[in-house]
Amino acid sequence: MRILLGRIYKSKSMVIKDVRSVKVFLDDTRDAPSGSFCCVRTYEDCILLLSVFSNDVEFLDLDYYLGRNVKYSGLDVLVFMKEHDILVPAT
């Protein structure tokens, strides 16, 4: 993964550029619902996406269990968000 100037997020599975808001879906096995969701599979990908688009997250769907032998869970994403003052607007 890498972050480029101009707010571009790029990973093996997606490229996002010039967005006004991001809907994040974190799950290690299930696909995101139809629509404009950014599906990420790992804690690290989710944290990177939230870091890049911290003020533009419109919706967040977190799976708690992210697989065997995985150090982090969906709850750890919430802890990261709290520590870095990343808020998702209430709908």
Where do the structural domains in the chain lie, given as residue ranges? 2-83
Query: What's the mean pLDDT in 67-81?
Result: 93
Residue 13 has pLDDT above 90, yes or no: no
Residue 89 has pLDDT above 60, yes or no: yes
What is the H or E stretch that residue 83 is in?
helix 74-83
Residue 1 has pLDDT above 80, yes or no: no
Distance CA 75, CA 64 (A): 6
Distance CA 91, CA 85 (A): 18
Tell me the pairing of strands 22-26 and 8-10: unpaired
Query: What's the mean pLDDT in 7-20?
Result: 53
